[in-house]
Amino acid sequence: MARALINMPAKAKKGAVVEIKTMVQHPMETGFRPGPDGKLFPRDIIKRFVCTYDGETVFSADLFPAISANPFLSFTMVATTSGVVTFSWTDDKEQTQVQTARIEVE
């Protein structure tokens, strides 16, 4: 996988609902598209996304071939304490891309 983009505030008030937007570069090959030789390209999609906040899962999603290339996900969480938000994308090849961001709660 390539780079991941994360858009979330660096600071939030305690109890505030925070919007998080993520996107990761990935071709998301469905396994249904034929190549120049007529053989199907092997399936390779991101199959699992997990976001944790100080070790607890706040959002997760199982993804399927209908999702677009470079999938964009948007969700919210409640800011409770200052800490690390971890984002993890896992594809069919069991390769995992992990990114982190820190949020300071005032």
Selected residue with higher pLDDT from 1 and 95: 95
User: What class is the 4-105 domain?
Assistant: mainly beta
In this predicted model, what pLDDT tens digit does every residue of 12-30 receive, in sequence order?
999 999 999 999 998 888 8
101: Cβ–Cβ under 8 A, 6 or more apart, which residues? 6, 8, 10, 84, 85, 87
Q: Where are the domains of the chain?
A: 4-105
40: Cβ–Cβ under 8 A, 6 or more apart, which residues? 31, 32, 33, 34
In this predicted model, what pLDDT tens digit does every residue of 53-90 receive, in sequence order?
989 999 999 999 888 889 999 999 999 999 999 999 99
